[in-house]
């Protein structure tokens, strides 16, 4: 029997990333309780030993640690603070970990409401996309109580390799905003470089072989660049979710009286693509803008 088998972990949100993340926890020997709005996405995990729960609240009631990986701040609010949600149904001492990219203010509110129930809450958004989730190499940016972080760390280590406590409630989300702001301008540069190379008549794979080993190297170029060249715009991370993230980042920046022209332009371009029906494509589909 695994040393982890006495700890009950709940996982809510089994999308592109969440399914892989939950699978790593199950494979590590934890008792896993799962919920997803579309039940069929849980079938594979249930077949491997996970327990299906009918509501987020039922997951919370049956778990020592509850993890969420859902879509939008409105989803986070409903899952945590709704009538059949996590906070209302969690037992004293439960650790709640929201790994959705969401609002720092909402993370602070959830931490406050959790404390009223003698529970602890962490905001722990991730970076690394579908590849990082599959390979358990996500960067995990955590905000919240240090003692809760230490208790949750073994579970987080099932999913990521770079796990850092950034500060109190909301600090993980603020760090993720920094991440998304950097990506926003970087993916534009990747698309522009490939568009330039294509017009110049270069062999694009050969071009990437050179610049991917130099100062331009990074996830956006080395992982998404080859997908762009192949015309593979399947989602590792949805455009519509990136628009959501940039909206949060730009709203926070506005409150700080900080101008972010790169992030603003990226959001504008992505909103144009979403209006054309590409919102459920991966972020690398920004290249469609440059193909015109």
Is the pLDDT at 1 greater than 70? The verdict is no
Where exactly does CATH 1.10.1040.10 map onto the chain?
175-290
Per-position b or e across 230-250, b if 16+ CB within 10 A of its CB: eeebebbbbbbbbbbbbebbb
Where exactly does CATH 3.40.50.720 map onto the chain?
8-167
Percent pLDDT > 70 in the chain is: 99
pLDDT of 4: 79
Query: Among 92, 116, 176, 198, which one carries the catalytic annotation?
Result: 176
Confidence (pTM): 0.93
Q: What is the 3-class SS of the chain, one letter each residue?
A: CCCCCCCEEEEECCCCCHHHHHHHHHHCCCEEEEECCCHHHHHHHHHCCCEECCCHHHHHHCCCEEEECCCCHHHHHHHHHCCCCHHHHCCCCCEEEECCCCCHHHHHHHHHHHHHCCCEEEECCEECHHHHHHHCCEEEEEEECHHHHHHHHHHHCCCEEEEEEEECCCHHHHHHHHHHHHHHHHHHHHHHHHHHHHHCCCCHHHHHHHHCCCCCCCHHHHHHHHHHHHCCCCCCCEHHHHHHHHHHHHHHHHHCCCCCHHHHHHHHHHHHHHHHHHCCCEHHHHHHHHCC
Concerning whether 176 is annotated as a catalytic residue, the answer is: yes
Quick one: pLDDT band at residue 291, thresholds 50, 70, 90?
Answer: confident
Q: Given 1.20.1440.230, 1.10.3660.10, 1.10.1040.10, 3.40.50.300, which CATH number is that of 175-290? A: 1.10.1040.10
CA dihedral for 84, 87, 92, 96, sign (positive or negative)? positive
Is the pLDDT at 238 greater than 70? The verdict is yes
Quick one: pLDDT band at residue 83, thresholds 50, 70, 90?
Answer: confident
Is the pLDDT at 282 greater than 60? The verdict is yes
In this predicted model, what pLDDT tens digit does every residue of 18-63 receive, in sequence order? 999 999 999 999 999 999 999 999 999 999 999 999 999 999 999 9
Is the pLDDT at 68 greater than 90? The verdict is yes
Q: Domain 8-167, what architecture?
A: 3-Layer(aba) Sandwich (3.40)
Average pLDDT value for residue range 107-126: 98
**Average pLDDT, whole number, for the chain?**
96
Quick one: pLDDT band at residue 2, thresholds 50, 70, 90?
Answer: low
Percent pLDDT > 90 in the chain is: 95
Confirm if 83 and 28 have CB atoms less than 8 A apart: no
Longest dimension (CA), the chain: 63
Average pLDDT value for residue range 115-135: 96
pLDDT of 198: 97
pLDDT of 292: 74
Average pLDDT value for residue range 149-177: 98
């Amino acid at each position: 029997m695994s040393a982890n088998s006495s700890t009950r972990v709940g996982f809510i949100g089994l999308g592109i990333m969440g399914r892989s993340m939950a699978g790593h926890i199950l494979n590590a020997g934890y008792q896993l309780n799962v919920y997803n709005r579309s039940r069929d996405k849980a079938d594979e995990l249930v077949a491997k030993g996970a327990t299906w729960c009918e509501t987020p609240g039922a997951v919370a009631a049956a778990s020592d640690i509850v993890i969420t990986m859902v879509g939008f701040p409105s989803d986070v609010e409903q899952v945590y603070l709704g009538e059949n949600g996590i906070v209302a149904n969690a037992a004293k001492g439960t650790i709640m970990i929201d790994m959705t990219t969401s609002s720092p203010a909402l993370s602070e509110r959830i931490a406050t409401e959790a404390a009223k129930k003698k529970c602890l809450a962490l905001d722990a958004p991730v970076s690394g996309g579908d590849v990082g989730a599959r390979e358990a190499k996500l960067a995990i940016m955590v905000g919240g109580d240090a003692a809760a972080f230490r208790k949750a760390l073994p579970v987080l280590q099932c999913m990521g390799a770079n796990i850092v406590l950034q500060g109190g409630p909301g600090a993980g989300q603020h760090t993720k905003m920094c991440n998304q702001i950097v990506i926003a301008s970087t993916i534009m540069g990747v698309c522009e470089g490939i568009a330039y190379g294509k017009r110049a008549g270069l062999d694009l794979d050969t071009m990437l072989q050179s610049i991917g080993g130099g100062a331009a190297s990074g996830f956006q170029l080395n992982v998404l660049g080859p997908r762009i060249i192949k015309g593979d715009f399947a989602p590792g991370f949805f455009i519509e979710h990136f628009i959501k993230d940039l909206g949060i980042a730009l709203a926070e920046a506005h409150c700080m009286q900080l101008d972010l022209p790169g992030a603003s332009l990226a959001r504008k371009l992505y909103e144009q693509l979403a209006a054309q029906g590409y919102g459920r494509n991966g972020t690398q589909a920004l290249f469609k803008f440059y193909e015109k």
